[in-house]
Amino acid sequence: MKVLVSGNAGFIGTFLTQALMENRREVVGIDIRPCNPKDHHYESILGDVRNPDDVMKAAQGADVIMHLAAEHQDFGVTREAFFSVNVKGTRTLVECATRLGIKKFIFYSTVAVYGNAGKVTTEETPPRPVSDYGESKLEAEKVLYAWAHDDPSREVVILRPTVVFGPRNYANMYNLMESIYKNRFIFVGRGRNIKSVAYVENLVAATLFLLERMGPGVLICNYSDAPQLTTARIVEILSRHLSRRVPKFKVPLMPALVAASAFDLLSKLTGYNFPVTAYRIKKFNTDTHHAADAIRALGFKPPVDLEEGFRRMAEWRMREAAEARFPNESADR
C-alpha cells in the first residue's frame, strides 16, 4: 500500500511517516517545508496542497491519502488564510484523488469544530465552531462528506484530535513546559478544569488502527487519551518530570484576566505575539473534555500510557537543554 501524507514534515507528520514505514507502507509526502534530513528516508515533494500540479505529482500511484497539512496557528492568521489552506487544500486533494481513482482518505480535523460545548463532547455532539480555525476544519469535513456521497465505494475517516503533544512539539504544551522548566510558571485559577490531551504516538497508532478498518462511507472519531486530567494534574506531572517544584501559589482568575487584557490590546496594536494574554489565560482555564468513544468501541488501546507520554516529552526537553549548553559534547555522542 502506498500512502500520500500531506504535511509530512510537521510534528505529527514526522511520527506518522516513520510509523507507516515501520509497518512496511510505501510513503510519499507533500509539504511546503523540507523534511529534516534525519527523518527523510522516503520520497517527499516540496509543494502546496492548494496547487493541483504539486498534488498530482505527489499522489501518483497512491492508494490512500492522509491529510495533515493545515493552517492552525492561534495568532497572526487571517480568516482567509485558514479557509484557503484548510478548505481549498482539502478540495484540491479530493479532486486529484478523483482523477487518480484513489478511494481512501484519512483527514485530521480537530475538536475545535465543537466550539465551546460546555460539556463532555462525543462524536454525537453537534459541531458549533467559534473560531476561524474550527469553522475552516468543519467546512473541510463537508468537502469530504460530499466526496464520499458522490461515490458509495469511497472510504473516509475523519479524526478529530484534541491538543496533541510529544517530543519535538513546540506548540501549547511546549510553552507550558518551558515556563515550568524555567521557573516562570504562575498558576492562574484553581486548575480544576479538564484538559483533554493526546500523546502523538497514540494518535499515530490510532491512525494505523483505523486504516486497517476503513469501509465505505464516512467514519468520525474523536481522539483523546485517558484518563482525562485537570490542568493542575498536568502541571504537577510536568513539574515532577522536569525536576521542578509544583507551583503552590495561585492567582485568582478574574483579576488575572483584567490585568492580561492590556496585553490583548497591545497585541492588536503592535502585532506582537505576547506569551501571556487574557485569551490564553481564559483558554487555559476552560474545560475541554472530549471523549473518544467511537475508536475505543472498535477496540483500540493506546500503546503509551499518558503519564509516560509526558515523561518522554519532558526528557526530550531536558536533552534539548543539555545540548544547548554543551553542543560539542552532544555532537560527539
Q: Cite the active site residues.
A: 133
Q: What is the three-class DSSP state of 174?
A: helix
68, three cell numbers: 495533515
- Nearest Cα residue to 140 out of 209, 211, 193, 65: 65
**CA 188 – CA 169 distance, rounded (Å):** 24
Paired residues of 164 in beta bridges: 198
Cα 57 to Cα 245: distance, rounded to the nearest angstrom: 52
Helix axes 306-325, 200-211, angle to 10 degrees: 130
List helix spans (H) across the chain.
11-22, 52-59, 79-83, 89-100, 132-150, 172-181, 200-211, 231-241, 253-270, 278-284, 293-297, 306-325, 327-332
Q: Can you say whether residue 49 is alpha, beta or left, with left for phi > 0 and alpha for psi between -120 and 50 degrees? A: alpha
Burial class, 32, CB count within 10 angstroms (exposed 0-12 / middle 13-18 / buried 19+): middle
Q: Are 108 and 70 in contact (CB under 8 A)?
A: yes
Which amino acid would we find at residue 320? E
C-alpha 52/C-alpha 291 separation (Å) is: 36
Residues 131/112, Cβ–Cβ less than 8 Å: yes
